[in-house]
Amino acid sequence: MARILLVEDEPDLQQLVRYNLEREGHQVRVAGTGGDALAELRRASYDLILLDLMLPDRDGLEVCRIVRGDPALARTPIIMVTAKGEESDVVLGLGLGADDYVTKPFRTRELMARIKVRLARTRAVATEPDKARIEVKGLVIDPVRHLVTVDGAAATLTLTEFRLLHAMAASPGVAFGRYDLLDRIGDGDAVVTDRTIDVHIRNLRRKIEPYDALVETVRGVGYRFADG
Ligand code: CA
């Protein structure tokens, strides 16, 4: 079940889409104008926005731009509903950060399928914070692609270095003991000592220069990723 904001000014479509969404167990609010939509989004939180682009008061693209520019709303998925033959709206909308679109007239079944996919994807990210990209200054850690870049250039980390960096960066400010970190790198079979970690950290720091200071030494404990 999800909370969905349906932004649509045509009463027939409001009714039809709302009926189908509620039948799937979702909670639906309807906003008939862009202004109502923005007011509603600031009043309550939603899991998904279904956004008609042709609204009486303002362009749906404008609503999309405002939502994406608001840090509190920026991550809420948006599916645009566009008029047939308005490909330029689709291009603009996706460029503004909308996640997907359907073209009117759409089949209800297709719309429901798109919504389902989008909600499932959002949940997957929410329940797997391990898969979220971490970006600090010029350092980007992408666990999905298993890639670290330093000022845009790929850093050649070993698997162990990657795991160390990711484990710490995912919990900035938290001090990890050397044995904690050994667990994290899952090197159970290898004969390692806690000093092995120091060597890995030294190599890791060298590879992420000039951001090496983000990996801080916590005296008597181990290491942590700088917080803020
Ligand atoms: Ca409309």
Residue that the structure tokens 């996919």 belong to:
117
pLDDT, tens digit (0-9, with 9 covering 90-100), for 181-205: 877 776 544 555 667 788 889 999 9
Instruction: Summarize the chain as % helix, strand, coil (round to 5).
Output: 45, 20, 35
pLDDT, tens digit (0-9, with 9 covering 90-100), for 55-113: 999 899 999 999 988 878 878 999 999 987 788 888 889 888 888 899 999 999 999 99
Distance of alpha carbon 131 from alpha carbon 108, whole angstroms: 32
- Looking at residue 62, its pLDDT comes to 95
pLDDT, tens digit (0-9, with 9 covering 90-100), for 14-26: 999 999 999 999 9
Distance of alpha carbon 78 from alpha carbon 51, whole angstroms: 7
Give the distance (Å) from ligand 1 centre to CA of residue 101: 14
- Looking at residue 187, its pLDDT comes to 52
CB 225 within 8 A of CB 204: no
CA distances from 111 to 73, 104, 205 (A): 22, 10, 48
Least Cα distance to 53 among 94, 108, 3, 4 occurs for: 94
Burial 41-73 (b: 16+ CB within 10 A, else e): beeeebbbbbbbbebeeeebbebbbbbbeeeeb
Name the fold adopted by 129-225. Arc Repressor Mutant, subunit A (1.10.10)
Spell out the domain ranges in the chain. 3-126, 129-225
Give the distance (Å) from ligand 1 centre to CA of residue 45: 23
Does the predicted model carry a pTM greater than 0.85?
no
Distance of alpha carbon 184 from alpha carbon 195, whole angstroms: 15
Give the distance (Å) from ligand 1 centre to CA of residue 131: 37
pLDDT, tens digit (0-9, with 9 covering 90-100), for 126-160: 666 677 889 999 999 998 878 899 999 999 888 78
Give the distance (Å) from ligand 1 centre to CA of residue 49: 15
CA distances from 73 to 65, 176, 219 (A): 11, 33, 40
Name the fold adopted by 3-126. Rossmann fold (3.40.50)
The answer to whether domain 3-126 and domain 129-225 are alike in fold is no
Give the distance (Å) from ligand 1 centre to CA of residue 60: 9
Q: What band does 125 get if pLDDT is binned at 50, 70 and 90? A: low
Long-range contacts of 165-169 (CB under 8 A, 24+ apart): 165/141, 165/204, 165/208, 165/215, 165/225, 166/130, 166/134, 166/141, 168/215, 168/223, 168/224, 168/225, 169/134, 169/136, 169/141, 169/214, 169/225
Give the distance (Å) from ligand 1 centre to CA of residue 161: 52
Give the distance (Å) from ligand 1 centre to CA of residue 122: 26
Decide: helix, strand or coil at residue 50.
Answer: strand
Give the distance (Å) from ligand 1 centre to CA of residue 9: 5
- Looking at residue 129, its pLDDT comes to 62
Task: List beta partners, residue 29.
Answer: 5
Give the distance (Å) from ligand 1 centre to CA of residue 63: 13
Give the distance (Å) from ligand 1 centre to CA of residue 54: 4
CB 211 within 8 A of CB 137: yes
Task: List beta partners, residue 30.
Answer: 6
Average pLDDT score, the chain: 89
Distance of alpha carbon 122 from alpha carbon 48, whole angstroms: 9
